[in-house]
Amino acid sequence: MELPELVRRRRVRRSFDAGAPVPRAVLRELVDLATRAPSAGASQGWDFLVLDGEDVGRYWAATADPSRPADRWLRGMRTAPALVLAWSREAAYRERYALPDKASGSHAPAGLDARWPVPYWHVDVGMAVALLLLAAEHHGLGACPFAVPTARVDAVRTAFGVPADRTPVMVVALGTPAGHPDDELGDVGDGEPGLPAGAAPRRPSRRRPLDDVAHLGCFGRPLA
Ligand SMILES: Cc1cc2nc3c(=O)[nH]c(=O)nc-3n(C[C@H](O)[C@H](O)[C@H](O)COP(=O)(O)O)c2cc1C
């Protein structure tokens, strides 16, 4: 499949065929492709924790909120046979940008954080995950990025031996998709796994029109 079609076809999927494991070789290929992403200063301050089999259940146990019953979002996501947890490491950028080619000349730091307009360690993980999502699509897999609940980050670190200097940027649920993309919950469930009681699932939000997001020469002039 050509790249434009692959990109346009990709949609998040939030329920999976739990009985169809993702082969380890495919998981390895997805992560390998993710690491082909660009990174600031080639710092590559990313790590990918791949969970399959029983380890997936250990993730959900570590992040469970015993006071809340599993809602539709969680029931769907728990069918994913594999999870990839993407972590950033800020120190990789501080170490890299302290090297002579970055610590002098035009890259000389004017202030501690003036080198990065935004935290590039998180940006780069986002770049890598985007490649992983496209690679998953290429392999016919469904995928959904989501957040580790903030209150459960330490529990996840403990469960899987993740060093304290890693920050969880997002998790990607992976598997053979079940159902139809139009049955998806849309943005409901973002960050907080759970629909309010009785709430109707929403259809995915429409894409912002290109003329709204693309500007030619100056802000507000459409890219014709
Ligand atoms: C950084 C990031 C975090 C996200 N977090 C969640 C999440 O917590 N729960 C969820 O269901 N979807 C999450 N999503 C998926 C978005 O809801 C989804 O990409 C968006 O609705 C657009 O749908 P599409 O990817 O099918 O085009 C996240 C996506 C990104 C990029």
Residue 219 lies in a domain: no
Residue 220 lies in a domain: no
Q: Whose CA is nearest to atom 26 of ligand 1?
A: 11
Q: What is the pTM of this model?
A: 0.90
Q: What is the spatial distance between Cα 143 and Cα 136, in angstroms, rounded to a whole number?
A: 7
Structural domain count, the chain? 1
Domain, as residue range, for 97: 3-213
Is pLDDT at 180 greater than 80 in this prediction?
Answer: no
DSSP string computed for 171-203:
EEEEE-B-S-GGGS-TTTTSSS--PPTTPPPPP
Is pLDDT at 192 greater than 90 in this prediction?
Answer: no
Burial class (CB in 10 A: 0-12, 13-18, 19+), 198: exposed
Residue 141 lies in a domain: yes
pLDDT for res 26: 98
Q: Ligand 1 center to residue 77 CA distance, Å?
A: 12
Sign of the torsion formed by the C-alpha atoms of 91, 95, 96 and 97 = positive
DSSP string computed for 63-94:
H--TTS---HHHHHHTT-SEEEEEEE-HHHHH
Give the model's confidence band at 113: pLDDT under 50 very low, under 70 low, under 90 confident, else very high. confident
Is pLDDT at 109 greater than 70 in this prediction?
Answer: no
Q: What is the spatial distance between Cα 88 and Cα 90, in angstroms, rounded to a whole number?
A: 6
Q: What is the spatial distance between Cα 27 and Cα 52, in angstroms, rounded to a whole number?
A: 9
- Terminal Cα distance for the chain, rounded: 27
pLDDT for res 17: 98
Higher pLDDT, 182 or 72: 72
Task: Give the rounded percent of residues in the chain with a pLDDT score beyond 90.
Answer: 78
DSSP letter at 125 equals: H
pLDDT for res 66: 87
Q: What is the spatial distance between Cα 214 and Cα 219, in angstroms, rounded to a whole number?
A: 8
Q: What is the spatial distance between Cα 193 and Cα 149, in angstroms, rounded to a whole number?
A: 9
Nearest by Cα to 88 from 163, 144, 155, 24: 163
pLDDT for res 195: 43
Q: Whose CA is nearest to atom 15 of ligand 1?
A: 145
Task: Tell me if 197 sits within 8 A of 191, measured CB to CB.
Answer: no
Mean pLDDT, residues 3-8 taken together: 96
Is pLDDT at 54 greater than 50 in this prediction?
Answer: yes
Instruction: Give the CATH number, domain containing residue 152.
Output: 3.40.109.10
Q: Which of 7, 12, 88 to mutate to test the pocket of ligand 1 (most atoms within 8 A of CB)?
A: 12
pLDDT for res 197: 42
Mean pLDDT, residues 190-204 taken together: 45
**Cβ of 169 below 6 Å from ligand 1:** no
Residue 198 lies in a domain: yes
